[in-house]
Copies of this chain bind each other. A is one copy, B any other.
Amino acid sequence: MTSPGISRTRKADLTRLFQPETIAHVGASPRPAVGRFSFTKYLLTMNYPGRLYPVNPKYEEVHGLRCYPSLADIPDDVDLAILAVPSLQCASALREAPQGKVKFVIIHTSGFGEIRKAELEKELLELAQAKGFRIIGPNCMGIYSQEGRVGFWQDHWEIVNKPGSVGFISQSGGHAVNLLMGGMDTGIFFNKVISLGNQLDLTIHEVLEYMGKDPAIGVIGIYVEDVRDGNRFLGLLKDIVPGKPVVVWKGGTSAVGKEAVLSHTGSLAGDEAVFSAAMRQAGALLVDNSDHMVRLLRLLQPQFGLPAGSRLAIFSPGGGNTVSACDLFSSQPGLSLPPFGAETREKLKTLLPEENVDIRNPVDPGATGAVRIDQLMRVVSQDPQIDAILVLIGVDYLSNIKGEESRALAAEMISDLIATTVKQVKKPITVLLQQVRQNHEDFDRYRRIMLSKFIEKRIPWIDGSFKDAAQIYAQVAQYRNHLARLRQRESFPDGREKGSF
């Protein structure tokens, strides 16, 4: 597909986009309305440190700030202009601005209309070239930047004081909103997020290249519906993946989905089998839903480190659970649950109840407390056959303790103890936090207590079922193996392939 954006292979310096010193919000209003994004207000609640200019000829003041009739009236250069006005007003709002005054323009507006769409887009692109600005969107949310203290949603003030290393690039605004919401409460620390929308001008390639080189970013997630210039995309991934993992979620993989993509961002999706093969070749991790993206990004944050291998030990109370863990983990390619060495088995025997004459991996610790699980994990961590440990912590086991407040206290103490173990043992331990009882105020509370502790102490954790956890572990193993193959090729560089698609 040809598109105005494709032919260029510009390298944008996006520093001022993610750390703008001045922001203009065109279409600012003091009044809330359904579907209206109050960017000015969001930026104020985030303590955006730069100069902020609401623009709207109807008002003299918005949220205590002087409001300007137009971009031209602002007595300052504008690093970033956020346009939230009806589609037909976008071009006129930009036409007024002098050449060179504005660097980046986020066109939040969607619904450019089928009939006037091409004409409007052409006009915007001509303006961008004439005036020297870059366009993000249209039909997008814009950016979240922790260092820049910029966001696009009412609750971004909650996380803007939390530095992080996760970058996320999304063609869908909704997915960008949801990924930030789903990640921020559960231990994903974001650095930069961008919602690109229709990619009229700025495309995913430029952002990917920027984030790839950005030392503040340690892992990148991408939601993409159409990949224009596939060779360039693949080449970028191949350059970036050896240094930081990239998780790719491709929308529009089905025939019906492709039609929906066309309607959503007006772009064409390509051949899925080719795309998947190319992603594997580049070492990117493919996902097909948001939960999976959230789980992978969380676990791949650099502070957790990658496990050195894929031989797992699992701790999981209950015989049915150990069978299930076996089934789901051992059916994943590249993962194994090796038997423990003789020394480990002897040590475990002294710690486990008599009935467990048969010491196996996964370990069923039985009805025991966190202190015993701590001891068991320390023993297993010393087994040379084991690279990493996964421990199932069930919120529901707290029901064995009497009294609401004692349970809450126990939740705190157990998660504290597990956190200490995780910090002290030399092999990576991940917590699989499960809550079987749902729709229950008390257990919701215990879960929040435990989860908050794990996040506070930077303990890697997974939610979902064993099946979800097994998929995540398999993909992490796949990434590690990819890195190992790359290192091998570097030692014998003759065999290195140049791939394309």
Binding site for B on A (CB under 8 A): 32, 34-35, 110-111, 113-114, 139, 154-155, 170-175, 178, 181-182, 185-186, 223, 225, 251-257, 259-261, 263-265, 288-291, 317-324, 326-328, 330-331, 337, 353-358, 360, 362, 366-369, 396, 399-400, 402, 436-441, 444-445, 447-448, 451-452, 455, 464-467
Contact = CB atoms under 8 A, between A and B. Distances in A.
A254 B322 CA distance: 12
A318 B172 contact: yes
A487 to B, nearest CB: 29
Contacts of A318: 172-175, 178
B438 A186 contact: yes
B263 A358 contact: yes
A175 B323 CA distance: 11
Copies in the complex: 2
B264 A174 contact: no
Contact of A319 (B265, B289, B326, B438): B265
Contact of A34 (B114, B367, B452): B367
A466 B260 CA distance: 15
A279 B441 CA distance: 39
A455 B439 CA distance: 10
A396 B326 contact: no
Contacts of A399: 154-155
Among A254, A323, A337, chain B packs the most CB atoms within 10 A around the CB of: A323
A139 B451 CA distance: 33
Contacts of A139: 319
A324 B439 contact: no
Nearest to A255: B330
A324 B155 contact: no
A398 to B, nearest CB: 12
Contact of A260 (B185, B290, B362): B362
B330 A256 contact: yes
A261 B438 CA distance: 28
B289 A181 contact: no
Given A256-B337, A439-B451, A320 B263 contact: no
Contacts of A317: 174
A32 to B, nearest CB: 8
A259 B327 CA distance: 10
Given A185-B438, A330-B256, A357 B113 contact: yes
A440 B185 contact: yes
Contacts of A223: 320
A265 B35 CA distance: 57
A259 B360 contact: yes
Contacts of A466: 289
Given A181-B437, A327-B251, A321 B174 contact: yes
Nearest to A291: B465
A321 B290 CA distance: 10
B185 A288 contact: no
Contacts of A111: 353-357
Nearest to A454: B439
23 contacts: A139-B319, A172-B318, A172-B320, A173-B319, A173-B320, A175-B318, A175-B321, A181-B396, A185-B439, A186-B439, A225-B323, A251-B327, A254-B327, A257-B326, A257-B330, A260-B360, A288-B328, A289-B465, A289-B467, A291-B465, A441-B444, A441-B448, A444-B444
A290 B465 contact: yes
A288 to B, nearest CB: 7
A368 B33 CA distance: 11
A185 B255 contact: no
Contacts of A323: 172, 225, 251-252, 257, 260-261, 264
A323 B445 CA distance: 34
Contacts of A369: 34
A223 B321 CA distance: 12
Contacts of A366: 35
A416 B389 CA distance: 45
A113 B357 CA distance: 8
Contacts of A324: 175, 251, 257, 289-290
